[in-house]
């Protein structure tokens, strides 16, 4: 009987030890990187556990919220907004935020994500309501900056830091889109016509410059030809004059007789009387010499007949 009681007592002790060990193991918590656990003790905030190993007191401590410290992205559906010139459009935004204080995030607002969405929608309507349509379409950076500043200030008590806000898409009404497309088409056609006109103008200028250069080159070629012809004629005349001067010099050096001179005069007379002249004036001395030449010719002919 005593052995049975001892055995039962041992089993109970082992069971109690196993239960206690199980409780201890179940209350050992490991917080991963870039996360935080908000711990309450007896219903009140106790601590915000960071990365590492932590031990929770059973039945006293409770992990109230597990928070991610990574940067998070919220993509909100399109929101209807009205511009200053009464144009209704749809704008959807993307918000990049990060939790900086787990305690404020857990106890600052009931539903932080919903609060950010509603706050961004109202802020967007207030900003767009002060701008006209054209200004809205061309001022995305300005709108992003204004929304980010307002959201960051509003979410600071919630332990949230808004890093960036982007307007993902701006959808104006269909009739506005059609009008914008027509305007863009007209602008593209205008630019195309300007480019065509510039091309034609440039082409005409190039053709005119080519014709001008061609005319200048032709004139230069004609000028060069005439210069060379004139130089050739001048050189020919100079050569003839040098030859004549050389002939005269040689005749002077040979001391020609009057008969030789007379014969040269007759040769010159023969060239002058080549049939082209209509009137020839013959000097008297040449006439005498011509008669002398005829007499000599007749005398030489008579002697040949006698022989």
Instruction: For residue 1, tell me if it sits in a domain.
Output: no
Range of the domain at 196: 175-255
Tell me the average pLDDT of the chain.
81
- Assess whether 230 and 283 both reside in one domain: no
Least confident window among 205-219, 229-243, 285-299: 285-299
Q: Per the structure, how many domains does the chain have?
A: 4
> Is residue 211 domain-shared with residue 280, that is, in the same domain?
no
End residue of a domain, out of 172, 206, 237 = 172
For residue 88, being part of any structural domain is answered with: yes
CB atoms within 10 A of CB 203: 10
pLDDT of residue 271: 55
In whole angstroms, give the CA distance from residue 251 to residue 274.
Answer: 25
Is 40 a residue whose pLDDT tops 90?
Answer: yes
Question: For 55-97, what is each residue's pLDDT tens digit?
Answer: 998 889 999 999 999 999 999 888 899 888 888 889 989 999 9
CATH assignment of the domain containing 162 = 3.30.479.30
Q: Which residue has the tokens 């008590």?
A: 157
What's the rounded Cα separation, in Å, for the pair 54 and 66? 14
Whole-angstrom distance, CA of residue 292 vs CA of residue 285: 11
Q: Are residues 76 and 62 in the same domain?
A: no
Give the model's pLDDT for residue 181: 73
- How much is the pLDDT for 293? 46
pLDDT of 304 reads 44
Same domain assignment for residues 219 and 278: no
Asked if residue 133 and residue 78 are part of one domain, the reply reads: yes
Condensed to tens digits (0 to 9), the pLDDT of residues 259-292 reads 555 565 556 555 555 555 455 454 555 455 445 4
State pTM to two decimals. 0.56
Burial of 279 (0-12, 13-18, 19+ CB in 10 A): exposed
Per-residue pLDDT of 97-131, as tens digits, reads 999 999 999 998 888 989 999 999 999 999 999 98
The single-letter DSSP state of residue 275 is: S
Please tell me the least confidently modeled range out of 9-13, 213-217, 244-248: 244-248
Q: Looking at the structure, tell me whether residues 185 and 101 fall in a common domain.
A: no
Domain assignment present for 10: no
| 113 within a domain of the structure (yes/no) | yes
Whether 7 is covered by a domain: the verdict is no
Residues 125 and 62 in one domain: no
Task: Note whether 90 and 124 are same-domain residues.
Answer: yes
Shared domain for 30 and 84, answered yes or no, is no
Structure tokens at 262: 């007379």
Q: Which of 255, 280, 298 is the last residue of a domain?
A: 255
Instruction: For residues 164 and 179, state if they share a domain.
Output: no
User: Per the domain annotation, does 3 fall within a domain?
Assistant: no
75 with 163, same domain: the answer is yes
Same domain for 251 and 261, yes or no, is no
């Amino acid at each position: 009987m005593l052995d049975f009681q001892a055995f039962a007592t041992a089993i109970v002790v082992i069971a109690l030890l196993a239960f206690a060990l199980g409780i201890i193991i179940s209350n050992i918590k490991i917080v991963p990187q870039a996360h935080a656990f908000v711990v309450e003790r007896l219903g009140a905030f106790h601590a915000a556990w960071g990365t590492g190993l932590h031990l929770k007191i059973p039945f006293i401590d409770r992990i109230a919220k597990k928070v991610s410290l990574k940067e998070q992205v919220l993509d909100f559906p399109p929101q209807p907004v009205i511009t200053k010139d009464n144009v209704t459009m749809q704008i959807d935004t993307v918000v990049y935020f990060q939790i900086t204080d787990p305690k404020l995030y857990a106890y600052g607002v009931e539903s932080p994500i919903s609060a950010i969405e509603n706050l961004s929608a109202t802020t967007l309507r207030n900003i767009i309501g002060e701008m006209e349509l054209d200004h809205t379409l061309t001022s995305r950076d300005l709108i992003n900056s204004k929304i980010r500043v307002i959201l960051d200030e509003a979410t600071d008590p919630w332990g949230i830091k808004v890093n960036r806000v982007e307007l993902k898409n701006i959808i104006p009404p269909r009739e506005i889109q059609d009008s914008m497309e027509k305007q863009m088409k007209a602008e593209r056609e205008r630019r195309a016509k300007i480019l065509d006109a510039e091309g034609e103008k440039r082409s005409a200028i190039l053709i005119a410059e080519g014709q001008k250069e061609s005319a200048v080159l032709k004139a230069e070629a004609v000028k060069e030809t005439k210069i060379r012809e004139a130089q050739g004629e001048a050189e020919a005349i100079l050569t003839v004059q040098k030859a004549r001067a050389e002939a005269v010099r040689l005749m002077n050096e040979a001391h020609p007789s009057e008969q030789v001179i007379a014969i040269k005069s007759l040769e010159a007379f023969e060239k002058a009387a080549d049939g082209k002249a209509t009137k020839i004036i013959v000097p008297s001395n040449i006439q005498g010499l011509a008669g002398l030449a005829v007499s000599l010719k007749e005398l030489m002919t008579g002697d040949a007949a006698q022989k």
